[in-house]
A = this chain, B = another copy of it.
Amino acid sequence: MAGFPPALDRLVQTLGRLPGIGRKSATRIALKLVSSSEAECRELADSIVDARSRTVRCSECGSFTEDDPCSICTDTRRDPSVICVVERASDVLALERTGRFRGRYHVLGGVLSPLDGIGPENLRIDSLLARVTSRQVTEVILALNPTAEGEATALYLARILGSRGVTVSKLASGLPVGGDLDLADELTLGTALEERRAF
C-alpha cells in the first residue's frame, strides 16, 4: 500500500484476518497502535499470547478455562442433573450473562453439516452421551442456533437422548430465525431459556 511502511502494512494485513475486521478497521487500529506507547502495544501483544497459552478446553464441558475442569463444572452449587448443550464456547458466555441457568454446559464444537463433511463423529457427542449415562442427568436443554443445521442437529440429539430416558428440551422460539445465539440480547435469550419446550 503506497505510503505505508512495511511493518505497519504487515500489521494491517494481520489484523485484517481477525473476524469482523475489514481493511479500513485494520488500518484504523494499526495507526492507533503505532501512535500509542510501546508499553501499550506490549500489553496487547502479551495479553494475546498469554490468553492463548493459558486457555485450554474443559475436558468435561468443552468450554474455555484455565483450570481443567472449569469453574462451572466444579461449582457444586450448580445443578449437575441439567446439561445445556451449545454449539460454541461463546454461547456459554451468552447464557451465563442471562443469569437464569444454574445447570452445567456441554459445548458441541459445531453442528452437523453433511455438506461441510461434519458428521456426529466430528462433534463432542460421545462425551455428551457419556456424561448423560454416567451421571444423574435428568434433563438436556438443546441451546443450538435457530438455523437449519442447528435444528437438524437438535433433532438428531433429541432422538438419541430420548432413548436414554432423559427429558430433552430446546430453547423457546422467540430468537430471531437465522440469527446468531451469541448476538441475542440478554432478555430475549433469558426468556427463550425459561420458555424451553419438551421436544
Contact = CB atoms under 8 A, between A and B. Distances in A.
Contacts of A34: 51-52, 55, 64
Contacts of A5: 54-55, 64-67, 70
Contact of A63 (B3, B43, B63): B3
Interface stretch (A17-25, A134-142, A150-158, A159-167): A17-25
Task: Using C-beta atoms within 8 Å of the partner chain, give the interface range for chain A.
Answer: 35 or more
Interface of A: 1-8, 10-11, 14-15, 18-21, 24-25, 27-34, 36, 38, 41-55, 63-67, 70-72, 88-90, 92-93, 96-97, 99, 182-183
Given A2-B93, A7-B50, A14-B43, 13 more contacts: A2-B99, A3-B70, A3-B93, A3-B96, A4-B93, A5-B67, A11-B48, A18-B44, A19-B32, A31-B89, A41-B48, A44-B48, A45-B48
